[in-house]
Amino acid sequence: MRAEVPLARILDAIDYRPDLSSADLRRLAGALGLNEIGLCALGCGQYPLPEAAALPFCLHPLRMAHGIGFANAYLVAVCGASHGILFDTGPDIVALQAAWPRAIKTVDAVFLTHVEGEHTGGLCEVVARFGLSAAFCPTGAKVPCGRAMGEGERMRFGPFEVTAFSTPGHASAHNCYLVTAPSERPGGALLISGDLVFAGSVGGGYFCHRQLATHLRRMLGAVPPQTVIAPGHGPLTTAEHELRYNPFVV
Ligand SMILES: [Fe+2]
């Protein structure tokens, strides 16, 4: 191919066995129009992570083992409160319980980014356990206990305002959720990004790569630069940081 990198090495990298030299990565970035600095850092296992801005509420990442990696769910709560709102439910209820912070006794709402085993395990059980009528889901998601939440729809729970953005690409039904708490302290937004964007990477475009790329660019541009991004996999990052370094934001 144009980058003159052996196909076997590219396939190994796709299969999580990267053996690409910096020269390979530079040529790949050039041939594919990717961010060279970000791709080289990622390929060398040195993708930089930003100092995430302080949020006006507490964010509890619930990191759960899944396959060869980890999946994240998130609880958002007023600091010191015993209740909050939950985003995704991880691979299963046992893993979710093991990751659950002791201080949080109940949830006021559950939101789902997309239907995939490592994010929806035990979803309806969680909804029933906390006496909720349904989980807020992307429009078109096939979830028996789901209630559709479409583009621009906004919900309030206590001080939290949650706005849904329809971001198909990784899946046909996929939402990101922007969380703010305007009454707590101005500024400080959180984007629950599901499998749209990760620190230094993006979700697979299993439904439509073109749509994923479009929504990726749209979302990173739509939120304030310091917005904390909480992805379905991997560490926290910020919108500004991913715009600058994410190799796949083109
Ligand atoms: Fe995922």
To which H or E segment does residue 88 belong? none
Distance 67 CA to ligand 1 centre (A): 11
The mean pLDDT value of the chain amounts to 93
Q: Which fold has domain 58-245?
A: Metallo-beta-lactamase; Chain A (3.60.15)
Distance 131 CA to ligand 1 centre (A): 26
- Residues contacting residue 4 through CB under 8 Å, at least 6 positions apart: 27
Residue 185 per-residue DSSP state? S
pTM summary value:
0.92
* Mean pLDDT within 133-160: 97
Distance 71 CA to ligand 1 centre (A): 6
- Among residues 74, 233, 227, the alpha carbon closest in space to that of 242 is found at 227
Distance 163 CA to ligand 1 centre (A): 21
Residue pair 246/208 in contact by the 8 Å Cβ criterion: no
The domain locations on the chain are: 7-43, 58-245
Instruction: Tell me which of 44-48, 92-96, 98-102, 201-205 is least confident.
Output: 44-48
Distance 2 CA to ligand 1 centre (A): 31
